[in-house]
Structure 1
Amino acid sequence: MADPRRRRLRYAYGPYAGGPDPLAPPFDIRSAMDQIGRDVMEGSSPRQALQELLRRGLDGRRGLDDLTRQVWERRRTLQRDNRLDGTLQEVRELLQRALDAERQSLGNENSDDARFREMQLDALPNDTGGAVRELNEYDWRSAEARQAYEDIRDLLGREMLDQRFQGMKQAMENATPEDVERIHEMMSDLNDLLEHHAAGQDTTDEFREFMQKHGDFFPENPQNTDELADLLAQRAAAAQRMLNSMSAEQRAELMELAQQAFGDPRLAQQMARLDSMLQAMRPGEDWEGSGRFRGENPMGMGKATRALEELGQLDSLAEQLSQSYPGARLDDIDLDALTEMLGEQAGVDARTLSQLERELQRQGLFERAADGSLLLSPKALRRLGQSILRDVAEQLSGRSGQRDTHRAGAAGDATGATRPWAFGDTEAWSVPRTLLNAQLRRAAGDPRALDVSDVEIVETEQRTRAAVALLVDTSWSMVAEGRWVPMKRTALALHQLISTRFRGDALQLVTFGRHAQSVELGELVGLEGAYAQGTNLHHALLLAGQHLRKNSDATPVVLVVTDGEPTAHLEPDGEAYFDYPPSPYTLRATIGELDKLASLKAAFTFFVLGDDPRLAVFMDDVAKRVGGRVVNPTLDGLGAEVVADYLKRRS
């Protein structure tokens, strides 16, 4: 028989609710870094690139621009489809119904009193507010007319309460005199509480007593007087903006009608007292704003006030999404309000962007320079280089999706032989020889599964070391012809390859425009294009020579990426001399430096961009002179050609 305790066990399965999902995959920022890196290489600062990424969005998620556009579209729709005079229109309809019913009733009477009453009705003011006021003391003959007039008073009271207190319009339907009296009592106590608080008195106990007595009017459940004032001020400011949005005639008419709420002017008086106090207590609320509503859907006072409150929230969200104020962060965005206004997906998209921003900061992909600006960190450059090198590898392999293979170390190249392991050896194990030794030992009677004496390692010979100088043209033509980013991607790919696979090699990056300079990878990635005439290959070769001589024990390799003939050279005084077409002096100085590097047995490859026939002839002649070769790659294939050439030179 089954244990009855087992039958009582119940299991419930659902989403993890104890904080961040411990089984969630780590946040993938590779795509984000690719986009940031591309923008930085095109000349944006890292901060601008990050902001642009957040504006555009990532991997199908909407960015800040799309969310802002949706906010403004909702704002336009709200104003385009609605108008604010719904209460006035409803009051006019009820008044007309009351007058029609009364005139019909009087028309059935044949008396002087009936004729006198008809004259009274004919003499009513043209404006609705004045007519309702004049009829306050009128003795209605028609029951239907009397009910319609009472409905006007009831409607005005409920609409005024609906402006300030959530759900009051429905709660006060068919209100009794006792209900109305309770409202007056609540309003009086509320004004007294706020007045005492504004005077600096401690209202803790008074607030608690107020909430015990009138808490059902405040489903938001404020916890203290300040929270209560904040809640009321936000709605009161929206009500004032609603009045500001009306015409002067509509505003005057509505203020006149407010005196007739529930047939008692005390509610309007208490509301005026409340508004005056809230404006003094919360001057930072928008009491002066307005909104233009031009649609066909009439809204009552309460609904119109909520529409103005919604406009205020949308304006606040638009400011948060713009991130244009000092110290702006995505954590500033009110995700609850965004979800309420634009739907669940908008909240998810904004939360994803916020997570992305935090993750980029957490993983240390940016660092702050001395001047306070953001820079890509070495870690970010490595990630970017990995991505670009992966693309280059796919081009070289001729097929996408090739598995990334990590070959460790600079120990050397395998000879094919093995030898027993000795203390201090770092070479890779020869797994087949190690397992074979273990099996032979066990066959001889030794029960141990594996012993250190079984281990054999792969013998290696010293790997050839290379000194590589990558000279990249940074003249204005590289920017103008769209060659700027491919040049940077090429440098990143080569740097990543050497720093991870051939750590013994020495790479020097040299840029050359009017002058040349040796640069670090981060400087090259963030380098902005500048209009400066001159292609000073001579100066670049001088710097390359210094690098090769500094690493004289390594195989010298010189890789040149350019799209123009040498048009500048360095004078003995350090000034650059420029002339176009190229001066004979410039050509002579450039070729002389090439000859010096050739004497060091440097291997040259010239990557010629574009289809300039003069440049092609010059580079062909130079390559023949120094025993190098010329490659004319496409922009998309530049990185693959440079990496392939480097690998070929090494081997």
Structure 2
Amino acid sequence: MSRYRYGAYQGGPDPLAPPYDVRAALDAIGDSVLEGTRPEEALRELLRRGLPGAQGRRGLDDLLREVRRRRRELRRRGRLDGTLEQVRALLDTAIGQERAALFPDPSDEARLREAELDALPSDTAQAVRRLADYDWRSDAARATYEQIKDLLRREVLDAQFQGMKQALAGQDPQALRRVKDMMAALNDMLDKDARGEHTQEDFDRFMREYGDFFPENPKNLEELVDQLARRAAAMQRLLDSLTPEQRAELAGLMDQVMRDAGLALEMTRLTDALRARRPDLAWSGQEQMTGQDPLGMGDATTALAELADLADLEAALAQDYPGARLDDIDEEAVRRALGRQAVDDLAQLRRIEAELERQGYLQRRRGGLELTPKAVRRLGETALRRVFARLSSGRQGDHDQRDAGQAGELTGSSRPWRFGDEQPLDVVRTVSNAIRRSAMEGAAPGRGVRLHVDDFEVQETERRTAAAVCLLVDLSYSMVLRGTWAAAKQTTLALHTLVTTKYPQDAIQIIGFSNYARVLHPAEMAGLDWDMVQGTNLHHALMIAGRHLDRHPDFEPIVLVVTDGEPTAHLRPDGRSLFDYPPSPETLVLTLAEVDKMTRRGASLNVFMLAEDRRLVSFVEEVARRNGGRVFAPDADRLGEYVVSDYLRVRRRRR
């Protein structure tokens, strides 16, 4: 029999995992919105911390920490002057070997050679250049000097083409000739592409012949250019990061080895072409490497290229620039830096954002992110559940009973069902009607009871009068300073949801006011933000509320005001707002005049104070005296409970 072994799936995300539940993400965003955050900021916060309960899935902050840890590790890897140090050590060895061969020779020629060695410049590059034509007496010294040239040739080319060091090992002249041919073919291909004549077939032919020089296995010319340009820019930053003396020595050595190998012209052509095609890369700048081990040019260039990639990735993961989106994050850069698991984590975060938009909870408008009416309804339900959760279970009033009817309290009587009725069915009388009808029609016993449309009866309920509801919410900057803004937003959403779902016959209008007042629509309320302006224009808000009540003359008027300050602005006849602090007599007179109009309409103004300033207390006491409404001073976290309870109390009283 065949035997099988099973283990965890390693090919990426689990293909048998349950479908992604976008509601959890929406609820997490909703929690932040109800705390006063704008939807766009709430989504960004969710993406930063990851979805609660999504085991094994990291947020952007987790990936960002990993990137920063990786950058610290790279900086501690070693020093950038490793190649220069190796050349100096080999040069000292070659000179020592040559001196050892000259010392036993008593001739004047030997002394002249020693004097020539003594006169070598301290600059390593100049010393190596001066010894290029030197006739070595010691075979060991000559071999050491050849090691210097071979080391430089391999390190310089490895800095430009990753993996070239291994390709040129052994000082094979044919290998160097092949490098020259590759660079010439590469430059020709770039020139051809600049003229618009390049084809994918040209690239494929180039890779068939020289693909072993490019271990990253690019798929097209653009990928190859990107790889080469990143390394070329990193090599330039390597030079910039050295001291001026080190930079001059290493540049001199690089120039000399390229000239000796006959590659100087092709290397210059390639570097110029790469700069022209990728000017967006960091072609200058310094990196601080703090390690103790010396790094060769190839390894140092690789480290600096990785550091540049990590810096770009860090900026993309931070998402702190205007219009930032997860699509800006390069998935390939994430894979190179952090591995496959990080790519899966990023894909999960992208799925959150995409699913919220696809399923109709989020929409982008005018470059920003907004909650749709569908999301606002769910958010309002959450706000209402929070409010009802705070109401005492033993307290009389309406609660979140999903099996309750929507047409009022039962009277105990019933009537025949009519098309369009939403009252609950009277099951006993409906079945009784069916039985009596069946008996009168002479139905055979044992055949059961068949219901007919005329058999149905519904339970009668009390008729509920419709109400015109106005909630006036202070949007001034002081609401944020006092920490009451989040409670006001949650209360607004909860009351709107309660009225539109439980009492659909009521007409509700939410009015926000600061220096001016305006009607707030449901989709706007979730993303509602405070106004950083001066003025609490209750006068304008009462005018708008009055027009709403006048449009519903047969409705019971309910006016609720949430504020943390006395009126400091009013609307002038020309439509402009006038601010004054302390409040001008004109502002108070005009505002109280609107209060008197509300009184004549029969509307009581119930005011919910979120502060206890002397001026505010004095003003609301005058409103209560003139209008007969009530004054509440709840804590901010109980505002929703107070407002919803008061609305329900008024409705029960006027039913």
Partners of 1:320 and 1:23 lie apart in 2 by 30
Q: Give the corresponding residue for 1:471.
A: 472
* Deviation of 1:118 (Å): 3.8
**Contact 1:542–1:593 (8 Å) recurs in 2:** yes
Partners of 2:200 and 2:514 lie apart in 1 by 73
Query: Kindly tell me: are residues 466 and 446 of structure 1, through their superposed partners in 2, closer, same or farther at Cα, counting changes over 3 Å?
Result: farther
Q: Give the corresponding residue for 1:100.
A: 96
Q: Give the corresponding residue for 1:278.
A: 273
Q: Deviations over 1:52-108 (max 9, x none)?
A: 765677659876677667656755764576432110101111222333344345446
Query: Kindly tell me: are residues 608 and 105 of structure 1, through their superposed partners in 2, closer, same or farther at Cα, counting changes over 3 Å?
Result: same
Partners of 2:206 and 2:139 lie apart in 1 by 40
* Deviation of 1:532 (Å): 3.5
Alignment of 1:531-542 (within 5 A): 531-533=533-535, 536=538, 540-542=541-543
**Contact 1:535–1:564 (8 Å) recurs in 2:** no
Residue of structure 2 aligned with 1:253, choices 237, 249, 262: 249
Which amino acid letter does the alignment assign opposite residue 471 of structure 1? L
Q: Secondary structure at the match of 1:341?
A: helix
Matched, 1:83 2:79: yes
Partners of 1:596 and 1:150 lie apart in 2 by 102
Q: Give the corresponding residue for 1:4.
A: none
Partners of 1:156 and 1:625 lie apart in 2 by 94
Q: Deviations over 1:346-368 (max 9, x none)?
A: 54554444333333433444556
Task: Give ranges in structure 1 of 5+ residues lacking alignment.
Answer: 1-6
Q: Secondary structure at the match of 1:103?
A: helix
Q: Give the corresponding residue for 1:639.
A: 640
Q: Give the corresponding residue for 2:441.
A: none
Query: Kindly tell me: are residues 376 and 93 of structure 1, through their superposed partners in 2, closer, same or farther at Cα, counting changes over 3 Å?
Result: same
Which amino acid letter does the alignment assign opposite residue 640 of structure 1? E
Matched, 1:387 2:389: no
Which amino acid letter does the alignment assign opposite residue 396 of structure 1? L
Alignment of 1:561-600 (within 5 A): 561-565=562-566, 594=595, 597-598=598-599
Identify the range of structure 1 (87-96 vs 319-328) with the bigger mean alpha-carbon deviation: 319-328
Q: Deviations over 1:103-128 (max 9, x none)?
A: 34544666666555544433433322
Q: Give the corresponding residue for 1:30.
A: 26
Please provide the CA RMSD for this pair. 4.7
Matched, 1:168 2:164: yes
Matched, 1:211 2:207: yes
Partners of 1:458 and 1:559 lie apart in 2 by 34
Partners of 2:433 and 2:133 lie apart in 1 by 116
Query: Kindly tell me: are residues 313 and 432 of structure 1, through their superposed partners in 2, closer, same or farther at Cα, counting changes over 3 Å?
Result: farther
Q: Deviations over 1:117-165 (max 9, x none)?
A: 5444334333223333444455656565454333323322221232233
Partners of 1:210 and 1:543 lie apart in 2 by 75
Partners of 1:203 and 1:584 lie apart in 2 by 81
Partners of 2:476 and 2:200 lie apart in 1 by 72
Which amino acid letter does the alignment assign opposite residue 550 of structure 1? R
Tell me how many residue pairs correspond in the alignment. Answer: 636
Q: Give the corresponding residue for 1:487.
A: 488
Give the TM-score normalised by structure 2.
0.79
Identify the range of structure 1 (88-97 vs 381-390) with the bigger mean alpha-carbon deviation: 381-390
Partners of 1:303 and 1:477 lie apart in 2 by 58
Partners of 2:201 and 2:589 lie apart in 1 by 94
Partners of 1:428 and 1:209 lie apart in 2 by 79
Q: Give the corresponding residue for 1:551.
A: 552
* Deviation of 1:303 (Å): 1.4
**Contact 2:489–2:528 (8 Å) recurs in 1:** no
Q: Give the corresponding residue for 1:361.
A: 357
Q: Give the corresponding residue for 2:261.
A: 266
Residue of structure 1 aligned with 2:124, choices 114, 128, 131: 128
Query: Kindly tell me: are residues 116 and 412 of structure 1, through their superposed partners in 2, closer, same or farther at Cα, counting changes over 3 Å?
Result: same
Query: Kindly tell me: are residues 522 and 130 of structure 1, through their superposed partners in 2, closer, same or farther at Cα, counting changes over 3 Å?
Result: same
**Contact 1:33–1:380 (8 Å) recurs in 2:** no
**Contact 1:605–1:628 (8 Å) recurs in 2:** yes
* Deviation of 1:650 (Å): 1.9
Query: Kindly tell me: are residues 184 and 649 of structure 1, through their superposed partners in 2, closer, same or farther at Cα, counting changes over 3 Å?
Result: same
Alignment of 1:267-306 (within 5 A): 267-269=262-264, 271-276=266-271, 278-279=273-274, 282=277, 284=279, 286=281, 288-293=283-288, 295=290, 296-306=292-302
Which amino acid letter does the alignment assign opposite residue 378 of structure 1? P
Query: Kindly tell me: are residues 157 and 558 of structure 1, through their superposed partners in 2, closer, same or farther at Cα, counting changes over 3 Å?
Result: same
Q: Give the corresponding residue for 2:506.
A: 505
Partners of 2:566 and 2:219 lie apart in 1 by 76
* Deviation of 1:189 (Å): 4.3
Alignment of 1:614-629 (within 5 A): 615-616=616-617, 619=620, 623=624, 626-629=627-630
**Contact 2:560–2:608 (8 Å) recurs in 1:** yes
Partners of 2:483 and 2:204 lie apart in 1 by 70
Which amino acid letter does the alignment assign opposite residue 310 of structure 1? E
Partners of 1:125 and 1:277 lie apart in 2 by 32
Partners of 1:541 and 1:260 lie apart in 2 by 85
Identity fraction in percent: 47
* Deviation of 1:377 (Å): 3.4
* Deviation of 1:284 (Å): 2.7
Partners of 1:535 and 1:195 lie apart in 2 by 69
Query: Kindly tell me: are residues 14 and 368 of structure 1, through their superposed partners in 2, closer, same or farther at Cα, counting changes over 3 Å?
Result: closer
Task: Give ranges in structure 2 of 5+ residues lacking alignment.
Answer: 439-443
Partners of 1:20 and 1:142 lie apart in 2 by 69
**Contact 2:477–2:530 (8 Å) recurs in 1:** no
**Contact 1:159–1:302 (8 Å) recurs in 2:** yes
**Contact 2:34–2:383 (8 Å) recurs in 1:** no
Q: Secondary structure at the match of 1:243?
A: helix
Q: Secondary structure at the match of 2:391?
A: helix
Query: Kindly tell me: are residues 415 and 250 of structure 1, through their superposed partners in 2, closer, same or farther at Cα, counting changes over 3 Å?
Result: same
**Contact 1:603–1:649 (8 Å) recurs in 2:** no
Partners of 1:459 and 1:553 lie apart in 2 by 23
Which amino acid letter does the alignment assign opposite residue 391 of structure 1? R
* Deviation of 1:633 (Å): 0.4
* Deviation of 1:636 (Å): 0.9
Partners of 2:393 and 2:321 lie apart in 1 by 48
Q: Give the corresponding residue for 1:309.
A: 305
Identify the range of structure 1 (551-560 vs 574-583) with the bigger mean alpha-carbon deviation: 574-583
Which amino acid letter does the alignment assign opposite residue 648 of structure 2? L
Query: Kindly tell me: are residues 189 and 531 of structure 1, through their superposed partners in 2, closer, same or farther at Cα, counting changes over 3 Å?
Result: closer
Query: Kindly tell me: are residues 430 and 174 of structure 1, through their superposed partners in 2, closer, same or farther at Cα, counting changes over 3 Å?
Result: farther
Matched, 1:460 2:461: yes
**Contact 1:489–1:639 (8 Å) recurs in 2:** yes
**Contact 2:29–2:42 (8 Å) recurs in 1:** no
* Deviation of 1:25 (Å): 2.6
Q: Give the corresponding residue for 1:3.
A: none
Which amino acid letter does the alignment assign opposite residue 528 of structure 2? G
Q: Secondary structure at the match of 2:285?
A: coil
* Deviation of 1:330 (Å): 1.9
Q: Deviations over 1:267-294 (max 9, x none)?
A: 5436535535634762636484132435
Q: Secondary structure at the match of 1:291?
A: coil
Identify the range of structure 1 (446-455 vs 149-158) with the bigger mean alpha-carbon deviation: 446-455
* Deviation of 1:488 (Å): 2.8
**Contact 1:107–1:114 (8 Å) recurs in 2:** yes
